[in-house]
Amino acid sequence: MIDHCQRQRDIIAREHLQFFEENVSQEAFVMGVNRRAWPAGARYFYAIQQVWMPRNAAHKEAAE
């Protein structure tokens, strides 16, 4: 049986992604993409319901 949670955590570790937000539904992520609420390169991991971004991505709030 495939453990999607572990598989997604392995991807996060392998790609050295930075945590951004947790408890995000897929619908909220899609709406945030349309509103440009997420930093460039942000990825949604459905099994753990978290949004992760590349370490070099800048976010509007961080720049202010």
Taking the whole predicted model, whether its pTM rises above 0.85 is answered as no
Single out the residue of 32, 31, 5, 6 nearest to residue 20, CA to CA.
Answer: 32
Kindly provide the residue ranges of all beta strands, DSSP E only, lying in the chain, ordered along the sequence. 18-22, 43-45, 50-53
pLDDT in tens, 13-49: 999 999 999 999 999 999 999 999 999 899 999 999 9
Single out the residue of 52, 50, 45 nearest to residue 4, CA to CA.
Answer: 45
User: What residue type is assigned to position 52 of the chain?
Assistant: W
| Domain range enclosing 40 | 4-63
Q: How many domains does the chain have?
A: 1
Q: Quick one: DSSP state of residue 34?
A: H
